[in-house]
Amino acid sequence: MSTNRRRFLSTSISAAIVGSTTAWTSASWGADAPPLALPKLPWEANALDPIISSNTVGFHYGKHHRGYFDNLNRLLPASGLTGLSLEALVKATADRADRVALFNNAAQAWNHSFYWNSLSPQGGGKPGAELGTRIDAAFGSLDELRKTVLANSAAQFGSGWVWLALDKASNKLIVVKTGNADTPIAGESVVPLAVIDVWEHAYYLDYQNRRADYASALFDKLLNWRFVEANLTTA
Ligand SMILES: [Fe+2]
């Protein structure tokens, strides 16, 4: 088990996500177990311009995200794990040396769907009053949360993810990072609320090596506070 994953004992995906984009959760499969399908984006591919260009979205969603689902569906038939939801598949393959490829592709499929929903053309700015109070309680201020998110983004060595999450034991908001495909939903103690993809493919076409510029622009202009609030409501 990785150090990161050990810290996360997370939850299953919240129902709020289903509300924000109808296609992306793998609610259940029928007896014939059709393939897991790439969900639709919750906005048009050019909707995040100029913070994230349609070119980046095209490659990121159309190549990377689609690729994880394609790999997953190629690996599933021989795995004996068909019929599980995507979330269940992540949990069933986490920390299994014989399931690494399945875990990586299932977790990346899930993480990216969560990422798209964490962004909104109407995002950024300030959260609602109730969420703002919780942010103040956990971090001191919205600006301190911003600093924490950006510090975690910079500190993630190589590819990974930076999550705003709810720690279930303390019922406090936290910021955590995971490497590569690691995801909070592999565990049970942390509820993910929003995520920033800090893999190079998320920003290199628009920002080249300037990850900090990407992360700060995303936080300021695109972070979907409504999604965070909805996830908190159902946490
Ligand atoms: Fe990505």
Task: Please report, in tens digits, the pLDDT of each residue of the chain (235 residues total).
Answer: 444 444 443 333 332 333 333 333 433 334 444 468 999 999 999 999 999 999 999 999 999 999 999 999 999 999 999 989 999 999 999 999 999 999 999 999 999 999 999 999 999 999 999 999 999 999 999 999 999 999 999 999 999 999 999 999 999 999 999 999 999 999 999 999 999 999 999 999 999 999 999 999 999 999 999 999 999 998 8
Å from CA of 61 to ligand 1 middle: 8
Q: Do 141 and 150 touch, CB atoms closer than 8 A? A: no
What the block records as the tokens of 196 is: 């920033």
Computed from CA positions of residues 41, 175, 104, 187, in that sequence, does the dihedral angle turn out positive or negative?
A: negative
Å from CA of 32 to ligand 1 middle: 30
Query: Which domains does the chain possess?
Result: 1-12+50-235 (3.55.40.20)
Å from CA of 129 to ligand 1 middle: 31
Å from CA of 109 to ligand 1 middle: 9
Å from CA of 39 to ligand 1 middle: 15
What the block records as the tokens of 41 is: 């984006």
Å from CA of 207 to ligand 1 middle: 15
Amino acid at the residue 140: G
pTM score, whole prediction: 0.87
Å from CA of 112 to ligand 1 middle: 6
Amino acid at the residue 183: T
Among the residues of 11-156, which ranges form H helices? 15-20, 54-59, 66-75, 86-93, 100-118, 129-139, 142-155
Å from CA of 108 to ligand 1 middle: 8
Å from CA of 29 to ligand 1 middle: 26
DSSP, collapsed to helix, strand or coil, labels residue 191 as strand
Q: Long-range contacts of range 172-175, CB-CB < 8 Å, 24 or more positions apart?
A: 172/137, 172/138, 173/134, 173/135, 173/137, 173/138, 173/139, 173/145, 174/138, 175/145, 175/148, 175/149
Amino acid at the residue 85: S
Please, which residues have CB within 8 angstroms of residue 157's CB and are 6 or more apart in sequence?
Answer: 179
Please, which residues have CB within 8 angstroms of residue 229's CB and are 6 or more apart in sequence?
Answer: 127, 128, 130, 131
Report every protein residue that has its C-beta within 5 angstroms of ion ligand 1. 197, 199, 202
